[in-house]
Amino acid sequence: MSERVINIGLCGFGVVGQGVLDHLERKRSVLREQLGVNIVVSRIAVRNLSKARDINVDPSIVSGDALSVALDPDVEIVCELMGGTGIAREVTVAALKAGKIVITANKALLCDHGEELLSLAREHDGHLLFEASVAGGIPVIKAIREGLVINEFSSIYGILNGTCNYILTRMANEGLSYPEILVEAKELGYAEAKESLDVDGIDAAHKAVVLAYLAHGKWVALEDVRRQGITDISQEDIQFAKNSGYAVKLIAVVDRDRALNSLRVSVLPTLVSKQCSLGSVDGVHNAVAIHGDVVGETVYIGPGAGRDATASAVISDVVDAAKLLIFGGPEGGYPFLDPAPRNGSNIVLASAKDLKSRYYVRLVVVDKPGVMAEIASVLAAREVSLASVTQKEVGEDEERVSLIITTHLTTEQAILDVVEDLGNLESLEEKPFSMPIGNFA
């Protein structure tokens, strides 16, 4: 009997696509031994046929037409590695309608079109696998879907963007400003030329939406994710954190309140205790903490992006796809299994009035009598209780001072109102900056 061959089509051949091909070739004998089949990349789609690449490829398998690769009847597994939500969606839709197994690392595609794509997979007996879409080389999606399948999740929180974590780590370790480190991060390739996707929290929000669906079965629109990036974080915030036993991290949170049947999804700079598992995760690493009712807390830390980490996650899905084909039913297929709970549509989005935390607020004000009383009056009017106030001169300017305020437990709505009210004070010199003080016990 001849050995079975499973053909893969790579739609997209950038850094990740080349990593997938490289490692599949390197591990071919290992995979053959484990699965009893020969996994072969038989077609590759690229945007630019003339572009030089790090890996030599047989030109006869390379095409500029991603749809032709996805619809090739000999290709059983389609890896969508192009990024974006335009042609990537067209290719994914076409492959799923053809009943194929599609693997994607594209969190933006899932965030914007995940519900549609999973519906197509169900309707046409296809499959959509996406381990590489969240936290790179950390198998957090497998953990939720498989290892922790019996659990109900009360909370998932994590560092989901390595670029932001790298910048914040260097700000803390070297005392440099955000703009200084951003320039170097771009030079090192840790930040894109257009950095807003990372530093404004959009990338992390895409991933948080995927995690919310997997854990609770509800697709949350990106505009409904409470989101704030790291661009306004100053050395003053960093130093306060260090002196108080905290670190500043961009934290994605997916919290379920079963009593209110509500779900919170947010991405916010947060003061995280250094005693917390996430407080000491530095550099480009990602980390995810998952709270299940059966297992308790489990924490996953590792590389969140990059050629090899992402390729590792994609190939993990390739192996699962091969198993679906090998061990499927009489027609070689396997029934579609929804990866998430089915009752998520009844969950409501949490109201800011129901979300509670302690908060950090930084203000720059004119140094004159009565300013502190004015600020205290604003907080009192919103029933926000002061926990501490620190005052410091701004540079050599004796007429301006920085005030750092921490609050006792209050609602998110109250702090939003306070920040808006403070921003209207004539004594204020700069826009207020606020962030929650995390309670990740």
pLDDT for 360: 98
Contact 384, 407 (CB under 8 A): yes
**What are the start and end residues of each CATH 3.30.360.10 domain in the chain?**
145-304
Phi first, then psi: what are they for 66, rounded to 5°?
A: -65, -35
Tens-place pLDDT, residues 271-306: 999 999 999 999 999 999 999 999 999 999 998 878
Q: How far is CA 44 from CA 56, 60, 61, 76, 353, in A?
A: 12, 9, 6, 13, 51
Please state the CATH superfamily assignment of the domain spanning residues 5-136+307-344 in this structure: NAD(P)-binding Rossmann-like Domain (3.40.50.720)
Above 90 in pLDDT, residue 398?
A: no
Amino acid 1: pLDDT = 53
Are the CB atoms for 45 and 90 separated by under 8 Å?
A: no
Structural contact between residues 81 and 12, judged by C-beta atoms closer than 8 angstroms: yes
Model pLDDT for residues 137-184, shown as the tens digit of each residue: 899 999 999 999 999 999 999 999 999 999 999 999 999 999 999 988
Q: Following DSSP, what letter does each residue of 82-119 receive, concatenated?
A: S-SSSHHHHHHHHHHHTT-EEEE--HHHHHHHHHHHHH
397-407 and 386-394 beta bridge pairing: antiparallel
Tokens of 226: 């409470």
pLDDT digits 0-9 by tens, 176-221: 999 999 988 888 777 777 899 999 999 999 999 999 999 999 999 9
Tokens describing residue 367: 């140094």
Contact 93, 119 (CB under 8 A): no
40, 63 contact by CB (below 8 A): no
Place 436 in a pLDDT band, splitting at 50, 70 and 90: very high
Of 379, 353, 395, nearest to 432 by C-alpha is 379
Beta strand pairing call for 348-349 and 262-273: parallel
Q: What is the DSSP letter of 428?
A: B
What confidence category does residue 330 fall into, taking pLDDT thresholds of 50, 70 and 90? very low
- Please state, as a whole number, how many other Cβ atoms lie within 10 Å of the Cβ of residue 25: 12
List every span in the chain annotated with CATH 3.40.50.720. 5-136+307-344
Q: Which of 2, 4, 3, 1 is nearest to 76 (CA)?
A: 4
pLDDT of residue 306: 82
pLDDT interval class at 315 (50, 70, 90) = very high
For the question of residue 323 being annotated catalytic, the response is no
Whether pLDDT at 41 is above 50: yes
| Spatial contact of 144 and 121, defined as CB atoms under 8 Å apart | no
CA angle 148, 150, 156 (to 5 degrees): 50
For 301-332, b/e burial (b = at least 16 CB within 10 A) is bbbbbbbebbbbbbbbbbebbbebbeeeeeee
What's the whole-number average pLDDT of the chain?
Answer: 92
Question: Using CA atoms, how far apart are residues 281 and 247, in angstroms rounded to an integer?
Answer: 10
- Residues 405-426, buried b or exposed e (16+ Cβ, 10 A)? bbbeebbbebbebbbebbeebe
Q: Name the packing angle between helices 107-123 and 202-216 (round to 10°).
A: 30
Asked whether 441 and 299 are in contact (CB, 8 A), the reply is no
Q: Which of 207, 353, 356, 392 is catalytic?
A: 207
Q: How many CA atoms lie within 13 A of 355 on its CB side?
A: 24
What CATH number is given for 356-437 in this structure?
3.30.70.260
Return residue ranges of the chain for CATH 3.30.70.260: 356-437
For residue 187, the tally of other CB atoms under 10 A from its CB is 9
CATH number of 145-304: 3.30.360.10
Tokens of 139: 């198998």
